[in-house]
Structure 1
């Protein structure tokens, strides 16, 4: 259902309006009145009174015309009667500020009542909604106008972001406080921002992802629409007994899942409000242009590496230029040596002692003539050697010490803006100045200005990743689990999980499950052969518990190992399994874990007993496709071990990818297992074979 009545209603009624600036009702009422040139505004307070010449009416029923949007700021026990009265009057949208009093079931019933009448509900327990493009201000606090749309589950965080944006010369196009999300949720609000022409950058602070896959589809749609999304969330991870039951549980945190979703959908996961604002300012200021080096899809061209963003650095201090270069390289950007042609163009404006390789040191040329800042910067932008140029140092502060330079410094600032605009490339300024006329000119020309070089570096790094992402909408899940073999998987043990995974196409060595030493010896003789592996069943971490014996060469060794293992573990059931020894093999860990918001999440990493120590993993929503699985394998830090390290032959990546797909298919079909893990998955030049498997019942 449309959210037009939320952002641009024809009429608004504030129920709980107040003339007391210490109360929420005052700020809601005064904000609503600020837009009365565009819409009809009604103020309701049963005790009477008025604000700014507008009288308070006793109830919605007393209004001369029906309100389209009702803002509810009354005590909890009065919320439902107000909503009922509003629905009877024909209201289409309710923003419920009120918090406390109602339990979740009552809030859900309230939302169901509204939606059953074709309406929408924002909240309860929210801070309101703002649309600066429609003169709608139904919230407490100041919301500067700009081109950043924000969806937030924290009101105070929104206020902080607003103040930081204002200091950077930016502001909000829209702001939506989600509250308890009983009807309008993060995905709804983000969809509305994507469709909003005045919103150029979408920002979100989300704690509760609800239907994570739906939100992921929204993030991918935003990227496809050219609306970059910056996501801020909590860093919490689940610390439960289930997490300790497997390596997968320890390696897949809630935040790591969100990071994987952002990577695949083309959103940027940021670490703080400041980082969000720094990146939003750069994204909002960029002139519309074709993306530079968008990069291939991960599955194209053998997963060719995406070229990093190339940055030219120019400054009036050699030290600052060098530190800036370090900051960019540390964040994955490239500071390349300039071509001879560009160096010649730059050197024409520099003293002979100046360095022009990148970083470029003005070496006093700026002090000699402020126009050299613009001349050198234009040469770098027009040269085409780099995608972005960063001017670092003192520019913007000359007029502070010498007011007579104010006009010239502003003139140079305009020239810098023109150089960026005409080149179609990104220009960023880092300066020790603050709030000077020249900086105002720069911001007005669409040039982002930062006080610290790390702000500029982080913003450029996020922007580069966004530009180079080819979004992948989340894979669809079956409408209902197949249920095939569900009772078989219920205990999560190796025997049952092995059968489940083998049924979906995963290879295992020949094996027999036994309870006695005689059965083990018979299985070795007739079915498995020597050398073999003996494993105790019922243990999550067999090696640490003494439940694994490898390379058993004969019957005597088997019986001795069996006796030791039974004493050490107390196990009642064992598996005799053929040894899988392959030259140039690499041990991986592969697993799928059900996330409460995003559903099944596939994980692959370097495996064996060092899986948690190395923590070299890659995640994606399941089920996987072969190309996606292959891309995950090649994204590991230790991927060179798979592609042929120091002359070794490469492993069979297709077989490894097929094994990951089989595991993910099985996990999706069996939601009765909260986690499914294979560790190790032995990949080698001839294929892939699973050597152990484990499940955790939901």
Structure 2
């Protein structure tokens, strides 16, 4: 067998070999299915269309298949080497696989980064060795992989083929979802338990699954990303969500992204808020908890996609009609009033007591053969409706309503859905209690959900791709920087620049800064300095004290000072602080006072150790920490993303003009923020920039206060 002598840079691919392998070697394969190597090899033999190679030091047959003592003894280089031996041996096997040119190694083995610093170091060295030779690594500590294209089941559990891709940081969650999919008649296309994520990152799995025509729905269980890959993560999710439903469930978040800093941003934005922003930026559906994951997967796998956010709600019962409509609207969808023509048709089909405006309360005592609900659905979809939600108490009705009537309803609703391509969902609080009733609807392509909240979430997920999503192309400068990723540890020494230098740095990043001058304590104490004049009608005075960044808290800011009084008032401010003795002032910044009548904003950019460069925008000034109205996106931003970022804020109405106010030029402001984000992302010496406030007016905006932390090039 030939060996790979390629020692060049790490490849970008490898996932085709992982998710569509033709040959797989299981290292540690055993006849004992109570052992992981035995169990995994058993599942592989039961499902795989390709060639299965057991690798066992004994050299004896494994489950009826001739084994080989090592990977080097195989008759060919396998596409995947699944490693289920202890950590010390697993490291040697991975190096052997890399030397041979095995495209992908799946390290089921634990005992690496999750064990501490020594394990992390060993994992890092092993991954670097493999990547340098063209081999990609899944895991370590991986639950395994399922490759539906060829049936390669490298999971510790049975898996049914289907259209669901599940990318998970947790093997336990895979174990939880798999039987539920089987029970619902669904199955997996691609599954990976990436756990330690030492090499292949989440966005790479998402990119592959988005391009796989066999994938109908992508579900991700996320605990965090690595290597400052936030922009790549967002791009992959955004691209996938344009063509397929993408669901993301987040687990525990750490404080790794937090650090000691002097900015408002560090006090406001938590790691969890960063991920909230990334998922909103990507336009995917964030699943609130595990109980929602399976219903959403099922609904999006079975029903056609919603063509719009307009939902018709129909059923029997005024209270449930109201609750269901409320849940749909809380999910961000609309329950529009039907047109007069549709209402007239509904009135003709129902009795005079029925509510027909949307939601529809049919007020009927007998469902008959169930076909009435199909007739009503056929009427309401005439109003450019994107989806229909039918509610009912099917468990209670099962005793008084013939089962054939339920089947008739399911067939009638399914017929409308198939004929129109419009999804129809059924909500019943007891929908999961009677399997026969649920199955009747599922067989007709009608998902059944058990709470109005999940119904709303499922409809929102169905309507999300292509429905109101911004379609910006890939971001410009800075997005290709991940070829040599940072380690993810923010150990580079840095310090906040003096404010006057910070303002200069902000101006270099492309944000307007008012005219300004720094008057040192020595200048202000000189007898002849009174001749200094400032042409601006009014100026702002800001005391400069080392280590004090929020000067308004100590009375160190004065506004509306006449320009011709600037020197005298600055000298008086300096003397006042000197007399108090609390702070040693270095001088005073004199800045032109701008005419800003718009809302004050907080704008910051910083480098999160895991996510990379991020930009935060929110309510600024003295309200920054009080309102905590902020949103964080991965940088660099596109112009469209910057608009979306501004529009996501609670103060967005003020930016667009509220109750007769002029508002600001949001498109122009967004373009400047996007340019600022690109400049920050490109300059890796910058660690943090905060502008607070960024003052706004109808056509202009200015950075009037700034904190900049730059990497210390000479920390000694």
> TM-score band, normalised by the shorter chain?
0.7 to 0.9
Counterpart for residue 263 of structure 1: 280
CA–CA separation in structure 1 for the residues paired with 2:140 and 2:637: 38
**Residues 1:327 and 2:327 aligned together:** yes
Counterpart for residue 541 of structure 2: 534
2:475/2:638 contact within 8 Å kept: no
Q: Tell me the CA shift for residue 128 of structure 1.
A: 0.8
- 3-state DSSP of counterpart to 1:544: helix
- The match for 2:626 among 610, 613, 622 is 613
**Residues 1:221 and 2:239 aligned together:** yes
- The match for 2:415 among 411, 418, 432 is 418
Q: Tell me the CA shift for residue 252 of structure 1.
A: 3.4
Counterpart for residue 299 of structure 1: none
Higher mean displacement: 588-597 or 659-668: 659-668
1:44/1:59 contact within 8 Å kept: yes
Q: Tell me the CA shift for residue 287 of structure 1.
A: 2.3
Question: What are the Cα deviations for residues 402-461 of structure 1, in whole angstroms up to 9, with x where unaligned?
Answer: 6x9233422331221111111221211012233433421321222211112211111222
Counterpart for residue 506 of structure 1: 511
Structure 1 pair 635/104, CA: closer, same or farther in 2 (3 Å)? closer
Question: What are the Cα deviations for residues 196-227 of structure 1, in whole angstroms up to 9, with x where unaligned?
Answer: 22211111123342322223332233234x12
- 3-state DSSP of counterpart to 1:586: coil
Higher mean displacement: 204-213 or 105-114: 105-114
1:655/1:688 contact within 8 Å kept: no
Counterpart for residue 406 of structure 1: 403
**Residues 1:577 and 2:590 aligned together:** yes
Counterpart for residue 498 of structure 2: 493
Counterpart for residue 693 of structure 2: 680
Q: Tell me the CA shift for residue 236 of structure 1.
A: 2.7
- 3-state DSSP of counterpart to 2:555: coil
CA–CA separation in structure 1 for the residues paired with 2:45 and 2:684: 52
Structure 1 unaligned blocks of 5 or more? 294-308, 482-488
Q: Tell me the CA shift for residue 652 of structure 1.
A: 4.4
- The match for 1:9 among 11, 21, 41 is 21
Q: TM-score, normalised by structure 1?
A: 0.86
2:14/2:103 contact within 8 Å kept: no
Q: Tell me the CA shift for residue 647 of structure 1.
A: 2.4
Counterpart for residue 179 of structure 1: 195
1:248/1:593 contact within 8 Å kept: no
Counterpart for residue 477 of structure 1: 478
Question: What are the Cα deviations for residues 501-554 of structure 1, in whole angstroms up to 9, with x where unaligned?
Answer: 223443333332223286279478423667433222231222223332333464
- 3-state DSSP of counterpart to 1:527: coil
Q: TM-score, normalised by structure 2?
A: 0.84
Question: What are the Cα deviations for residues 107-153 of structure 1, in whole angstroms up to 9, with x where unaligned?
Answer: 34433444455443322211111124422211112434331101111
Q: Tell me the CA shift for residue 677 of structure 1.
A: 1.2
1:149/1:199 contact within 8 Å kept: yes
Structure 1 pair 480/410, CA: closer, same or farther in 2 (3 Å)? closer
**Residues 1:40 and 2:51 aligned together:** yes
CA–CA separation in structure 2 for the residues paired with 1:351 and 1:643: 46
Structure 1 pair 282/458, CA: closer, same or farther in 2 (3 Å)? same
Question: What are the Cα deviations for residues 135-190 of structure 1, in whole angstroms up to 9, with x where unaligned?
Answer: 22111124343311011111112222334434544332110111323333323322
CA–CA separation in structure 2 for the residues paired with 1:255 and 1:411: 47
Counterpart for residue 461 of structure 1: 460
Structure 1 pair 536/171, CA: closer, same or farther in 2 (3 Å)? farther
2:99/2:133 contact within 8 Å kept: no
- The match for 1:546 among 542, 555, 558 is 555
Higher mean displacement: 611-620 or 40-49: 40-49
Structure 1 pair 179/650, CA: closer, same or farther in 2 (3 Å)? closer
Q: Tell me the CA shift for residue 654 of structure 1.
A: 5.7
1:97/1:123 contact within 8 Å kept: yes
Question: What are the Cα deviations for residues 569-599 of structure 1, in whole angstroms up to 9, with x where unaligned?
Answer: 5133232324525263432221111223443
CA–CA separation in structure 1 for the residues paired with 2:353 and 2:284: 44
Structure 2 unaligned blocks of 5 or more? 1-12, 113-117, 483-493, 712-716
Counterpart for residue 157 of structure 2: 141
CA–CA separation in structure 1 for the residues paired with 2:361 and 2:84: 59
Counterpart for residue 25 of structure 1: 37
Structure 1 pair 258/84, CA: closer, same or farther in 2 (3 Å)? closer
Q: Tell me the CA shift for residue 326 of structure 1.
A: 1.4
Structure 1 pair 678/384, CA: closer, same or farther in 2 (3 Å)? same
**Residues 1:94 and 2:105 aligned together:** yes
**Superposition pairs of residues 165-176 of structure 1, within 5 angstroms:** 165-176=181-192
Q: Tell me the CA shift for residue 563 of structure 1.
A: 2.6
- The match for 1:430 among 427, 430, 437 is 427
Structure 1 pair 619/180, CA: closer, same or farther in 2 (3 Å)? closer
2:367/2:405 contact within 8 Å kept: no
Counterpart for residue 563 of structure 1: 575
2:230/2:613 contact within 8 Å kept: no
Q: Tell me the CA shift for residue 644 of structure 1.
A: 2.8
CA–CA separation in structure 1 for the residues paired with 2:139 and 2:320: 48
- 3-state DSSP of counterpart to 1:137: strand
Structure 1 pair 649/407, CA: closer, same or farther in 2 (3 Å)? closer
CA–CA separation in structure 2 for the residues paired with 1:428 and 1:127: 34
Q: Tell me the CA shift for residue 620 of structure 1.
A: 3.3
Counterpart for residue 301 of structure 1: none
**Superposition pairs of residues 158-169 of structure 1, within 5 angstroms:** 158-169=174-185
Counterpart for residue 491 of structure 2: none
- 3-state DSSP of counterpart to 2:465: helix
Structure 1 pair 366/314, CA: closer, same or farther in 2 (3 Å)? farther
CA–CA separation in structure 2 for the residues paired with 1:533 and 1:510: 11
1:15/1:43 contact within 8 Å kept: yes
Question: What are the Cα deviations for residues 10-61 of structure 1, in whole angstroms up to 9, with x where unaligned?
Answer: 332322223444432232021111125x223233333577665446655446
Structure 1 pair 657/574, CA: closer, same or farther in 2 (3 Å)? farther
